[in-house]
Amino acid sequence: MVYKLGNIAEIQFGSYDKPQEKGSIKYLHAGHFDKLFKPTKFEESFVELDGKNDKFLLQPNDVILAGKGHRTFAWAYNPDFGKAIPSSLFYTIRTKPSKVLGAYLAQFLNSEKTQYNLKLIGAGATITSIPKKELEEITVEIPSLEEQKKIVDFIELLDEDLRLTQNLLEKRAALKKGLVNKLISNLIKMKT
């Protein structure tokens, strides 16, 4: 079935807070996410709940979408990550888990076709900014929950394969560098 995002989700911007070096709630910025849109680079960026920002605390099945900036991407929140609040760079998209899995929606929003459409509606400014009304009009193809789960599992396998391949390439590059240094060092020793 095809739905407009605004018909299946509540959408709001994240919180505008001043991050602190320490705290109990992670405060997410785009720089915390790697090329696969995983929060692997998290650094000293925390906030404390203060009554004003409580409503921004991510819930299971929430998806955040970078709606401002040079990188448009989505990420499905998992409570295992710890308590987190997205910065105002992000939209928080809250759906019903009985209708759509957050992990599926994030993958759908990260798909090439949807990314193209998001860039089109956010174009026109120096820094991309996706208007909420246009975001609510994005159409989302939603298969059964079982199909959504299969799609998410398959994409996670592909992501793991990419991570392993990247790690292997980094280790091979380090090995090459070490071997070249050793060869050059040995060549210099032989000539002296």
What confidence tens digit (pLDDT) does each residue in 74-92 have?
999 999 999 999 999 999 9
Q: Which of 34-43, 153-162, 165-174 has the lowest mean pLDDT?
A: 34-43
The pLDDT-based confidence of 125 (bands split at 50, 70, 90) is: low
- DSSP E strand boundaries for the chain: 2-4, 9-13, 25-28, 46-47, 63-66, 74-76, 84-86, 90-95, 139-141
The answer, as to whether pTM is greater than 0.85, is: no
Give backbone dihedrals phi and psi of 129, rounded to 5 degrees, phi first. -145, 115
Question: Would you give the distance in Å from CA 59 to the centre of its chain?
Answer: 16
